[in-house]
Amino acid sequence: MKIKLLSLLILVGCIGAQAQVQLHRAVTLMGSRFDITIVAVDSAKANQSISEVVSEIDRIERLISDWRPDSQISEVNKNAGVKPVKVDREVFELTQRSLYFSNLTKGAFDISYAAMDKIWRFDGSMKQMPSDEEIKQSVANVGYQNVVLDSANCTIFLRKVGMKIGFGATGKGYAADKGRALMQAKGVKAGIVNASGDMSTWGSQLNGKPWLIGLTNPFAEEENISVLKLNTEAVVTSGSYEKFVMFGGKRYAHIINPVTGYPASGLISATVVGPSAEQANGFSTSIMVLGKDAGIDLMKQFPAYAYLLITDQVEVIKSPNFKFKVKKRLK
C-alpha cells in the first residue's frame, strides 16, 4: 500500500511576524526516491537544510549499503566465515537493533535475509513454482543466530561462509529518522523525510495544520483508505498487493518468509504509526511475515505504535490506538 503526502506545494506565508517558506526536493538515495520537505524562515535556509539532510543520508548509505563494495557492511559480508570486522558504533548499534527484531520474531524478520537466493521472480518471467528443494536451499545461508556481535571490540562476525546481512527493511527508515533528528538538533521547526514511503515527520505544515498523509486503497489506487494527521511521528507501510504471481489459483506475493523461503500470505498490507520509522518498518515487515494473529500479539507489546492491517479477504483491522478514520468498504 502506497503512502503519499497530500497537498504538497511550494508555499510562502507568514507565521506571526516572521516570513516562512515550505520547500520540497526529490532525490535518489540508497537506490530509492527520497522526498524531503522543510519549513524554514526563507528559501535559502530551506534549501540549505534539505542539502544537509541529503548529505546525512548519503553518509549513512556509505556505511550500510550492501551493494556498495566500500561500505562497512560489504566488508562484513566479504569476511563471512573468515573473521570479525570492526565497524563504527553507529553501524554496530543498527545491527544490534535489527538482531533484536530477529530474536523478537523468531526469524520472521531476519537481518541475514540478504543471503537468500532470488528464486522467486515477480516481473512476469516465472512460469512454474520452484521445487521444495530449491526453496529449502534458497534460505540455507539465512540465520540471524549466526551473526555474532562483540560490543567491546565493536565487531560483527558472520559464522558461515556465504552469509550476508543487509538493511533493506530498516535502513531507509533509519535514514529518515536521522534526517529528522539532524534538523531538530539544528532548530528546524518542521518538515518531512519521506524515504520511499518510510516517513519521519515533525512540526506542522506552513499553515499550522498537521501533515496529511494518505494511505492508498490497495484495491483502488485512486482512493485513500485513510488520511493520517501527523505532527512529530513516523509511518511505514509494508504491502504485497503490487508484486505477486499466481500458481494453482493461489497468490504468492513478494515478501518472503526468511525461515521457510516461501512467500508470506494472509495480509495485503500492514501500516504502522509511531515514534520511529526504523522501528515502524521493522514492525510492518514482521507483521507481514507473521500474519494477522501473531502480528497483533507482537504489537500488543509496543503500545507506542498503532497499526492498520488489511487481509487478503478484504478484512480491515486497526489497533485500539489507531486514531484515524478508515474507509469501511475497500472494494
The pLDDT value given to residue 131: 93
Residues 165-193 pLDDT 10s = 999 889 999 999 999 999 999 999 999 99
Look at residue 17 and tell me whether its pLDDT is greater than 60: no
Query: Which of 14-18, 123-127, 210-214 shows the highest mean pLDDT?
Result: 210-214
Q: Report the percentage of the chain scoring pLDDT > 70.
A: 94
Q: What is the rounded average pLDDT of the residues 314-323?
A: 95
| 19 — pLDDT class (breaks 50, 70, 90) | low
Per-residue pLDDT for 249 more than 70? Answer: yes
At 7 the pLDDT is: 45
pTM of the full predicted structure?
0.92
In the block, cell 497483533 appears at: 296
Residue 70 CA to residue 264 CA, distance in Å, equals 33
Per-residue model confidence (pLDDT) at position 13: 43
How does pLDDT run across 135-164, given as a tens digit for each residue? 999 999 999 999 999 999 999 999 999 999
For 269: left if phi > 0, alpha if psi spans -120 to 50, otherwise beta; the answer is beta
Q: How far is CA 59 from CA 63, 92, 95, 125, 222, in A?
A: 7, 15, 17, 36, 36
Spell out the CATH class of 3-62+170-318.
alpha beta
DSSP string covering 119-150, please?
----SS---SPPPHHHHHHHTTT--GGGEEEE
pLDDT score recorded for residue 4:
62
Amino acid 321: pLDDT: 97
CA distance 107 to 215: 28
**For residue 291, what is its C-alpha cell?**
500474519
What average pLDDT does range 281-303 have in this prediction?
96
How many angstroms from the chain centroid is the CA of residue 153? Answer: 29
Per-residue model confidence (pLDDT) at position 18: 56
Q: Which triple of cell numbers denotes residue 197? A: 514511503
* pLDDT interval class at 8 (50, 70, 90): very low
Cα angle: 28, vertex 34, 36; to 5 degrees:
125
Q: How confident is the model at residue 122 (pLDDT cuts 50, 70, 90)?
A: confident
Domain range list for the chain: 3-62+170-318, 72-158
Q: Do residues 228 and 80 lie in contact, with contact meaning Cβ atoms separated by under 8 Å? A: no
Q: Could you tell me if 49 and 55 are in contact, meaning their C-beta atoms sit under 8 angstroms apart? A: no
Instruction: Render 74-108 in DSSP notation, one character per residue.
Output: HHHHHTTTT--EE--HHHHHHHHHHHHHHHHTTTS
Write the pLDDT tens digit of every residue in 89-100.
Answer: 999 999 999 999
As a dihedral over the C-alpha atoms of residue 150, residue 260, residue 104, residue 292, rounded to 10 degrees, the angle is 160
Per-residue pLDDT of 36-81, as tens digits, reads: 999 999 999 999 999 999 999 999 999 999 889 999 999 999 999 9
Residues sharing a CB contact under 8 Å with residue 244, sequence separation 6 or more, in sequence order: 122, 251, 252, 253, 254, 263
DSSP-based three-state secondary structure for 305: coil
- Maximum pairwise Cα distance, the chain: 69
Q: Are 46 and 13 within 8 A, CB to CB?
A: no
The reported pLDDT for the residue numbered 11 is 41
pLDDT at 251 over 90: no
Q: What pLDDT band is residue 118 in, cutting at 50, 70 and 90?
A: confident
- CATH assignment of 72-158, among 1.20.1250.20, 1.10.3980.10, 1.20.190.20, 3.40.50.1370: 1.10.3980.10
CA distance 299 to 314: 21
Q: What is the mean pLDDT of the chain?
A: 91
Q: What is the mean pLDDT of residues 6-17?
A: 43
Q: What is the pLDDT of residue 10?
A: 36
pLDDT at 124 over 90: no
